[in-house]
Chain A
């Protein structure tokens, strides 16, 4: 009898989790993208087998449509601005005083020498709409209890991946780890949340590392020093004409 109840409970639990996967993801997306506007200061480190480069940047965003960032150091690149407007990427380079709208041919190139592509900036796929999901397990990562959620893109989704596996912590719905698989089921990239901090009462990953597995010894680390939410930002900041005034 007890055994039966126990079995039933376990079974039931799994059922609940399956139902919940969508909600977990929604909550998790809300964590970051539900933010109306934000201001951030970050350090981006590009790690290569033979060298490392560090950049500091400031960034502003409104929703997930508008994002602007300006480089503070290294001095030689100071004032370089990247602007994302819906699905366009603009680049302002102070040393040539030119604003460039990145052509499609440059979208797959590295963004500022990191392991991200320019295209990653304008990714418009939605985890909730473009993937079907299921909870496939639980695991503790960095002291946080996580659900492991498998995401398979829908047939018509504008997605390059064959599969994503996400570790989302149960309490704060943070994406602790994401694995990116290609269409042949090979693991291509891993994104880890290495440090968690409190930003304005919200617990969020403050240090994320992105590791492309194809290139040994390469990784990009993003560390957010400041992250403020729901502040007033002049929408003018997100116009190509204003880029040269950003500092």
Chain B
């Protein structure tokens, strides 16, 4: 009965209802699209930087992070690897040997990070073959793959030779000539500019050690939280190791996301203010308009609580229609741009591509199709509509039927 009356009230004044619905729809539409784009961008960022190479969780010898030096490396045996693999949430484990060196060709020299990697194991985490621009991923002893940025810097093609020169293990000098067998685009500007890759064996030989590693990289199961993995690992490993998540090893990414997300929240907040005042305006208008009607209803015996119930249902229905419209319209848009990502560079014009690359982002941003975004924002709008209906509630409670009917 109450529901029926509420529905009729909405239907009776179509124009007013339409304005309310439209304002809710428009704001939510913008909020959802903006957040979807932002979250899609973050996911992509995490995927390119974290998932493809850095790893969600890293293990080093204790003290390595603060003093990244080969003398703070560790010896990794199969037993340790098995132990880590058996930890809940861990999908894949690889070890790496990383060291800084100078690389040089002709009269050009630059700094680089030499990565000793285990090819077949790495392939399990990301598909390296797909990322090769030229040459092959299958390198032999003392051959190297270089990042695209390095290739551009030296203007290198395949089979050119690079000179590596740096500090080895325990006071040894590290130096050698290495032919380039492939060029890789890791979709991560930093890695592209600094990354030199060789087999674990070659890297160990380069630094004059038989058995050291600097990193153990852990690939987690898809929806497993990295924090939990760290806890699990801490229980298993001794104090000789430090366990870190990508949020600690790549704080700049976490910070970028937080800062950018805060900007998005401010935008969302502004839009909310607009929506809420729009809704409030309609409700205010409606309450004033219908004072006479309320007075009649109360004087013929309708309880004030019921009357309030009608108003409440009206507001909820109006906001829900707006919310569902917004979700229904934005979801296909998000879905479309998830499959066909927006290239931010073309969107932002000439030169933006380079700028974003330099900042360490990939300019390609798919939208997030996560339902978290529309649902959470729908909930916020819903709560606001409840909040707004307090106003007519108070009005109704105080209403004097006789006075209100004197026009």
Contacts and interface: CB of A to CB of B under 8 A. Distances in A.
The answer to whether A and B interact is yes
Interface of A: 46, 48, 50-51, 53, 74, 76-77, 80, 93, 95-98, 100, 112-114
Interface string B145-182: 00000000000000000011101001111011100000
Contacts of B260: none
Given A50-B71, A76-B208, A113-B167, A96 B172 contact: no
A98 B172 contact: no
Contacts of A50: 71
B175 A113 contact: no
Given A76-B208, A93-B165, A96-B165, A48 B173 contact: no
B176 A80 contact: no
A46 B169 CA distance: 13
Contacts of B71: 48, 50-51
Contacts, number: 42
A53 B171 contact: yes
A47 to B, nearest CB: 10
Given A48-B71, A98-B163, A113-B167, A93 B173 contact: yes
B163 A112 contact: no
A114 B173 CA distance: 11
Contacts of B104: 98
Interface residues of B, number: 14
Interface in B161-210: 163-165, 167, 170-173, 175-177, 208
A76 B104 CA distance: 21
Across the A-B interface, the 10 shortest Cβ-Cβ residue pairs: A113-B171, A53-B171, A93-B175, A96-B163, A95-B175, A46-B171, A96-B175, A51-B170, A95-B176, A77-B173
A51 B209 CA distance: 13
Given A50-B71, A93-B165, A96-B163, A113 B177 contact: no
A112 B177 contact: no
Given A95-B175, A96-B176, A96-B177, 4 more contacts: A48-B71, A50-B71, A96-B164, A98-B104
B369 to A, nearest CB: 50
B172 A74 contact: yes
Contact of A113 (B163, B172, B176): B172
Given A48-B71, A76-B208, A113 B173 contact: yes
Contacts of A46: 171
Interface in B44-75: 71
Contacts of B164: 96
B140 to A, nearest CB: 18
Looking at B171, B173, B175, the one whose CB has the most chain A CB atoms below 10 A away is B171
29 contacts: A46-B171, A48-B71, A48-B170, A48-B171, A50-B71, A53-B170, A53-B172, A74-B172, A76-B172, A76-B208, A77-B172, A77-B173, A80-B173, A93-B165, A93-B173, A93-B175, A95-B177, A96-B163, A96-B164, A96-B165, A96-B177, A97-B177, A98-B104, A98-B163, A98-B165, A112-B171, A112-B173, A113-B172, A114-B171
